């Protein structure tokens, strides 16, 4: 109540005050008019009209000055980049990058409004490449541009595509986007962001990729790489596949492009970082894989389909035995057994599927193809990975039933897209952001398209020095020897020691069996018992005598289940 009374009193006081002020004002105005009338000698009407006219003019001038002042203020705040943006549609995408603020103040008589400022270069490039619509923009405040130092010199653009779009929209149009930057698809790489689907990381090189070689990686770099490196990407980072578990690799490319060197690099990296594994090598080029003979469980240098078939048979049998162990574990409700990884690497694989045109030759080729398909498809589950190389990626060089099974593909330079499809898959050019192998530079040896998990990456295989490879091989041999020595005494180990102590390459079954405690008199039974005890299939020497070669015993000792 008290408060209300107080308010009423306050408003009465206001009223009196204002009335007094008004009367005072009127008296002053009247006085000024009277003074002007006396000074100018005018009538009352003329004096009033003159004063009103002068006041109106002064008011108009004040309004005009205020409007100008506001326009001047707004003009000063408007960014140069925003003004440029209006014409940026026609500017070349390679124009110098301008820093632009997030928003612009629009001048004029209306209240100032805040709007997003487009990044002129990226907005123009992506609109022209039809990644974004003409009415969409790449916001300048969402763009980060960083230079990438040499070698692999270029620029990295990190930006957000407009809402409703993702980095895949850019990836799908990477060719046209590259064109807008005045370069080719080969100069351009997209990186996927893990934090935001709209985030796009675009790398644009200043010069053709792999123009300058990158130094071969060190042991430490290989060891710390998350996966198996296959080569350098365009800015010199190691690139490869995350694992070879349940995966096989097909490598295609014309002759002398660097396939064997790339696979030598792969084997070297596997020996450094993949842990313990068994290596089966079939050197169809006779000396392409020889450096790794000492560490291989089985090494063959041959272009004979029969040799290929015998290796495929051996590995299929090994795969089948592993499947049986898995079934056994499931039946007994035990955890799934783990197996030592096995790599079967075949250089110049096409030769092994060729036939002489006769019916018998065709039948042999079909049988071999079927066994190879089975190996590549089924053995993945049991840890046997196949790597096949071919310099003849022609339609029928490696049968479709075999090549369809490869998860990873590498294609070096080939002359046509048709040939590239054989190496990379029939639908390769319909995938996201494909890289066309015929566009690679054939003078850059080892440059290749790696296609894994639907993503294409341009890499260049490693070219390790012989000394480095020998060092790695010697380390592995020493490790294998130590493991063998430290392991329990087995009949196989005893047999090896026996042959080595006598300096023999070969020992007949008739001599080895009694030395290992087999007293069976029947030669057939004795042979079977010894083979079972050793876990090795016997062979024959030059004279046709059954027995065991030291190399086979070593190979069996190196390999696990
Ligand atoms: N990454 C690389 N850097 C430098 N030189 C390389 C690279 N890769 C391969 N080379 C060189 O290119 C030549 C051919 O290499 P390689 O023998 O590996 O090719 P290929 O494709 O296996 O050939 P072919 O199919 O005829 O057997 C070799 O002289 C090799 O030293």
User: pLDDT by residue (tens digit) across 134-175?
Assistant: 999 999 999 999 999 888 899 999 999 999 999 999 999 999
CA of 410 to the centre of ligand 1 (A): 14
Strand partners for 456: 451
| Atom number, ligand 1, closest to the C-alpha of residue 462 | 1
| Atom number, ligand 1, closest to the C-alpha of residue 391 | 25
| Atom number, ligand 1, closest to the C-alpha of residue 256 | 23
Global model pTM greater than 0.95: no
Q: Return the ∠ at Cα 414 (arms to 410 and 419), rounded to 5°.
A: 85
| Atom number, ligand 1, closest to the C-alpha of residue 447 | 1
Residue pLDDT, tens place only, 120-143: 999 999 999 999 999 999 999 999
Is the model more confident about 123 or about 92?
Answer: 123
% pLDDT > 70, the chain: 88
If you take atom 23 of ligand 1, which residue's CA is the nearest one?
256
Please compute Rg for the chain using Cα positions: 41
What average pLDDT score do residues 323-348 get? 93
The CATH fold of domain 488-558: Arc Repressor Mutant, subunit A (1.10.10)
Give the dihedral of Cα atoms 512, 517, 518, 519; nearest 10 deg.
110
pLDDT at residue 335 is higher than 90: yes
CA of 275 to the centre of ligand 1 (A): 27
Is the model more confident about 265 or about 480?
Answer: 265
CA of 256 to the centre of ligand 1 (A): 5
% pLDDT > 90, the chain: 58
Per-residue tokens: 334? 């035990």
CA of 255 to the centre of ligand 1 (A): 8
Which residue from 261, 349, 392 has its CB within 8 A of the most atoms of ligand 1, so it is best to mutate? 261
CA of 345 to the centre of ligand 1 (A): 17
| Atom number, ligand 1, closest to the C-alpha of residue 265 | 1
CB neighbours of residue 366 within 10 Å: 14
CA of 358 to the centre of ligand 1 (A): 35
With beta carbons less than 8 A apart as the criterion, state whether 548 and 542 touch. no
Q: 550-558 vs 491-501: helix axis angle to the nearest 10?
A: 140
If you take atom 14 of ligand 1, which residue's CA is the nearest one?
256
CA of 446 to the centre of ligand 1 (A): 6
Q: 491-501 vs 523-534: helix axis angle to the nearest 10?
A: 100
| pLDDT confidence bin for 12, thresholds 50/70/90 | low
What average pLDDT score do residues 519-528 get? 90
Is the ipTM value over 0.90, yes or no?
yes
Strand partners for 158: 144, 201
Q: What is the DSSP letter of 21?
A: H
pLDDT at residue 378 is higher than 70: yes
Q: What pLDDT score does 44 carry?
A: 80
What phi and psi values does residue 490 have, to the nearest 5 degrees?
-120, 160
**CA 555 and chain centroid, separation:** 36
Is the model more confident about 105 or about 241?
Answer: 241
CA of 463 to the centre of ligand 1 (A): 8
Quick one: which of 515, 517, 518, 555 has its CA closest to 537?
555
If you take atom 9 of ligand 1, which residue's CA is the nearest one?
258
Which residue from 250, 260, 412 has its CB within 8 A of the most atoms of ligand 1, so it is best to mutate? 260
Is the model more confident about 37 or about 225?
Answer: 225
| pLDDT confidence bin for 109, thresholds 50/70/90 | very low
If you take atom 1 of ligand 1, which residue's CA is the nearest one?
446
Pick the CATH number of 229-468 from 3.30.460.80, 3.40.50.300, 3.10.129.10, 2.60.40.1120: 3.40.50.300
What average pLDDT score do residues 381-391 get? 91
Rounded-to-integer distance, Cα 424 and Cα 436, Å: 10
Pick from 297-311, 376-390, 413-427: least confident:
376-390
| pLDDT confidence bin for 244, thresholds 50/70/90 | very high
What phi and psi values does residue 394 have, to the nearest 5 degrees?
-90, 160
| pLDDT confidence bin for 17, thresholds 50/70/90 | low
Q: What pLDDT score does 295 carry?
A: 94
| Atom number, ligand 1, closest to the C-alpha of residue 231 | 1
| Atom number, ligand 1, closest to the C-alpha of residue 460 | 1
Query: Which residues are CB-contacts of 438 (< 8 A; sequence separation ≥ 6)?
Result: 413, 414, 415, 416, 417, 420
Cβ < 6 A, ligand 1 pocket: 253, 255-261, 285, 391, 445-446, 460-461, 463
Quick one: which of 270, 244, 227 has its CA closest to 383?
244
């Amino acid at each position: 109540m008290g408060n209300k009374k107080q308010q009423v009193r306050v408003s009465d006081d206001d009223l009196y005050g204002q009335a007094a002020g008004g009367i005072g004002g009127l008296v002053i105005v009247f006085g000024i008019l009277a003074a002007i009338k006396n000074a100018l000698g005018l009538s009352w009407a003329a004096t009033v009209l003159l004063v009103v006219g002068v006041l109106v003019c002064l008011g108009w001038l004040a309004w005009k000055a205020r409007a100008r002042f506001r326009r001047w203020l707004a003009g000063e705040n408007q960014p140069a980049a925003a003004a440029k943006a209006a014409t940026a549609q026609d500017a070349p995408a390679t124009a110098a990058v301008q820093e632009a603020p997030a928003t612009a103040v629009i001048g004029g008589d209306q209240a100032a409004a805040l709007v997003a400022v487009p990044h002129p270069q990226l907005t123009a490039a992506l609109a022209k490449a039809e990644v974004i619509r003409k009415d969409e923009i790449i916001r300048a405040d969402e763009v980060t541009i960083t230079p990438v130092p040499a070698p692999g010199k270029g620029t990295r653009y990190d930006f957000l595509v407009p809402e409703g779009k993702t980095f895949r929209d850019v990836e799908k149009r990477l060719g046209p986007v590259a064109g807008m930057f005045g370069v080719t698809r080969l100069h351009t790489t997209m990186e996927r962001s893990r934090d935001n689907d709209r985030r796009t990381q675009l790398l644009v090189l200043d010069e053709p990729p792999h123009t300058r070689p990158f130094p071969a990686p060190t042991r430490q770099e290989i060891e710390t790489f998350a996966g198996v490196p296959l080569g350098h990407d365009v800015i010199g980072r190691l690139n490869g596949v995350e694992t070879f578990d349940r995966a096989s690799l097909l490598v295609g490319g014309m002759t002398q492009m660097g396939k064997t060197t790339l696979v030598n690099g792969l084997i070297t990296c596997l020996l450094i970082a993949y842990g313990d594994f068994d290596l089966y090598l079939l050197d169809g080029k006779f000396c392409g894989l020889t450096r790794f003979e000492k560490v291989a469980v089985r090494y063959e240098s041959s272009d004979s389909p029969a040799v290929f078939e015998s290796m495929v048979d051996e590995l299929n049998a090994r795969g089948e035995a592993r499947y049986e162990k898995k079934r056994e574990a499931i039946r007994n409700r035990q955890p799934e057994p783990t197996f030592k990884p096995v790599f079967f690497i075949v250089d110049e694989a096409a030769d092994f599927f060729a036939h002489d045109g006769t019916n018998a030759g065709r039948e042999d080729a079909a049988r071999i193809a079927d066994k190879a398909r089975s190996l590549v498809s089924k053995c993945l589950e049991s840890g046997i990975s196949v790597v096949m190389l071919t310099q003849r990626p022609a339609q029928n060089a490696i049968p479709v039933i075999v090549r369809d099974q490869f998860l990873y593909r590498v294609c070096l330079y080939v002359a046509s897209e048709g040939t590239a499809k054989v190496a990379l898959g029939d639908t390769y050019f319909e995938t996201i952001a494909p890289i066309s192998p015929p566009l690679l530079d054939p003078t850059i040896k080892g440059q290749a398209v790696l296609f894994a998990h639907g993503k294409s990456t341009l890499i260049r295989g490693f070219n390790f020095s012989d000394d480095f490879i020998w060092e790695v091989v010697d380390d592995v041999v020493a490790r294998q020897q130590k493991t063998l020595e430290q392991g329990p005494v087995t009949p196989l180990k005893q047999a090896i020691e026996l042959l080595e102590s006598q300096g023999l390459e070969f020992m007949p079954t008739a001599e080895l069996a009694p030395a290992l405690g087999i007293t069976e008199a029947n030669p057939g039974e004795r042979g079977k018992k010894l083979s079972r005890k050793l876990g090795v299939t016997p062979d024959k020497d030059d004279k046709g005598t059954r027995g065991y070669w030291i190399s086979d015993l070593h190979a069996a000792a190196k390999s696990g289940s």
